[in-house]
Amino acid sequence: MTNRLNLLLLLIFLSSSLISCSNLSVGKIEAVELHFARDDWPEQVSISDLNGLQQEWGRWQSYPGSPANQEGPSYRLEVKLLDQQKKGKVFLVTHDLRLFNEELNTEYVPPTGTRQLLHSAVEQLKELRYGQLISWQEADRLLPRYSTFQLMDLETGITWRTQRRAGSRHADIQPLTKEDTQRLKTAYGGSWSWDRRAVVVLAGDKRLAASINGMPHG
């Protein structure tokens, strides 16, 4: 009898702590945009399947909760409504795609379809920022010896032109001009270093993920 009572109390607690977000169903969705949480990273992705989002909009759930270990958000999801007099919604999203309000004290749980759309948007956003991951064989084909391309330092945003000179299972590269050399050195804080830095290769319409070291060598 005691076990049944405890189970009943637990079910009552769970059902009372999970709150239906009926207010989310008010208003027609005009646009949904995903951004990085960092204001200095301008990339954004728009979610195009607004009908799918609208159908699940009234079935989101929420309950009191905060990110684990006081983790800061990685992304910002903005939902804009067609009726300008109705306020849209902003959700802060952690790296593992948990959604919270701006005060980080309420967690939202959308249905499966919305979570799949969010996951796809996050992958697109990361590729815009970090570049596309490809195999070395593909990189070797796209960036043959003596080809020129741009590199962008991921942290600072500094770009410079460079040329591939050698390398069989990697690319030995060198800046094209003195100005490009100085820009590379600036990205490294003004001194050469073996420390690796994340960069994006800008070649034609491609954005490829890569890393470099900043030490001239023979």
User: What is the CA angle 171-178-129, rounded to 5?
Assistant: 50
With residues binned 3-state (H G I as helix, E B as strand, rest as coil), the percentages for the chain, rounded to 5, are 30, 35, 35
Q: Which residues contact 100 (CB under 8 A, 6 or more apart)?
A: 65, 66, 67, 73, 91, 92, 93, 94, 106, 107, 108
**Counted domains in the chain:** 2
- Please check whether residue 3 lies inside any domain of the structure: no
CB atoms < 10 A from the CB of 180, how many? 18
Gap between the Cα atoms of 139 and 147, Å rounded: 12
Alpha-carbon dihedral 126, 183, 40, 121, rounded to 10 degrees: -10
Gap between the Cα atoms of 41 and 133, Å rounded: 20
Rounded to whole angstroms, the maximal C-alpha distance in the chain is: 83
Nearest to 107 by CA among 83, 90, 91, 130: 91
**159 and 63 share one domain:** no
- Please check whether residue 78 lies inside any domain of the structure: yes
- Please check whether residue 5 lies inside any domain of the structure: no
Domain endpoint, select from 130, 154, 180: 130
**124 and 30 share one domain:** yes
Quote the pLDDT of residue 7. 44
Quote the pLDDT of residue 19. 46
Gap between the Cα atoms of 198 and 184, Å rounded: 13
**121 and 25 share one domain:** yes
**26 and 125 share one domain:** yes
Domain endpoint, select from 112, 130, 148: 130
Q: Which amino acid is at 48?
A: S
pLDDT in tens, the chain (218 residues): 545 544 444 443 444 444 445 456 567 899 999 999 999 889 999 999 999 999 998 899 999 999 988 899 999 999 998 876 677 899 999 999 999 999 999 999 999 999 999 999 999 999 999 999 999 999 999 999 999 999 999 888 899 999 999 988 889 999 999 999 999 999 999 999 999 999 999 999 999 999 999 888 76
Q: How many residues does the chain have?
A: 218
Q: Give the domain range for residue 109.
A: 19-130
The pTM assigned to this predicted structure is: 0.73
Structure tokens, 21:
């977000």
